[in-house]
Amino acid sequence: MSDAQQLRIGFVPEHFSTPLHFAQKYFGLEAKLIPFPSGTGHMITALRDGEIDIGIGLTDGWVAGLGKEDTPGDGGYRLVGTYVETPLCWAISTGKERPEIKSIDSLKGSKIGISRLGSGSQVMGYVLADQQGWLSPGAAPYSDFVVLQNFANLRNAVNDGSADFFMWEHFTSKRYYDNGEIRRVGEIYTPWSSWKIVASTALLNGGGGGKAKVADLFTKLDQGIKHFEDHQDEAVEYISTHLDYSAEDAREWLKTVRFSSKTEGVDTKVITKCINILEKAGVLKEGVGLKTEGMLVTGLAAQAP
């Protein structure tokens, strides 16, 4: 397959990407894998700009991107598959020398660091505020959302005071707790399965067999996930040598994660629950933006509730 025909797949270069690596290494996934260290929000921009065809990212980021009232055009993408079934544990972090931040209660009205507007790191800030009872009409739960692009900048910001705290995946953060660079304040779990697969509307609606390419991707990803589950020592070796994790942390993470055995399709109940919680948290407005059925592709991804 020529480079022009290959799928361009955006992914976050963290431990969750390991089955994608195996799908390409062992099962003939013909695709250009494009890393997005800043996460889902950046992939949304790339999908809308025609820079990638597929994105593998966080459920809440995808849903927020399609559910907002200012979503441009047709939104640029649709949810087509499920990558990870388990919730995501977001660690809440501050600087190593921030004695004024003693607990989650200390974070109300503070400056939250986020990777990009619309990212999971911003969305979960609202979910945290909702859970803590900090939301009130006409008042923001935080004094500022400080856009910092990537994990390294977020860590620096909570130490130099330009942000007070940020949220990032637990095991990605753990190495920096262990070396003393940042300090853990608490954690919050997503109230939904954490990772979904999206395809650009240009790919789905255009010529060139876009839907067939997506179907082939699902087949190869399913094989990559099966290999991941059957060869966990190899997974630990890959994660600890190619990504920013210790072998010990990789093994602990394996105990907590469950990938989807069938990546094609999306449980509509999960998307509806996500929309409802994001509306309650103030991320989405009720009655505007796409709803569950509009975020999916009939005949390719939508599953009956």
d(C-alpha 297, C-alpha 281), whole Å = 26
| 73 burial level (CB within 10 Å; 0-12, 13-18, 19+) | exposed
Per-residue model confidence as pLDDT tens for the chain (305 residues): 555 579 999 999 999 999 999 999 999 999 999 999 988 999 999 999 999 999 999 999 999 999 998 888 999 999 999 999 999 999 999 999 999 999 999 999 999 999 988 788 998 999 999 999 998 887 889 999 999 999 999 999 999 999 999 999 999 999 999 999 999 999 999 989 999 999 999 999 987 788 899 999 999 999 999 999 999 999 999 999 999 899 999 999 999 999 999 999 999 999 999 999 888 888 898 888 899 999 998 766 555 44
Go through the chain and tell me how many residues it has. Answer: 305
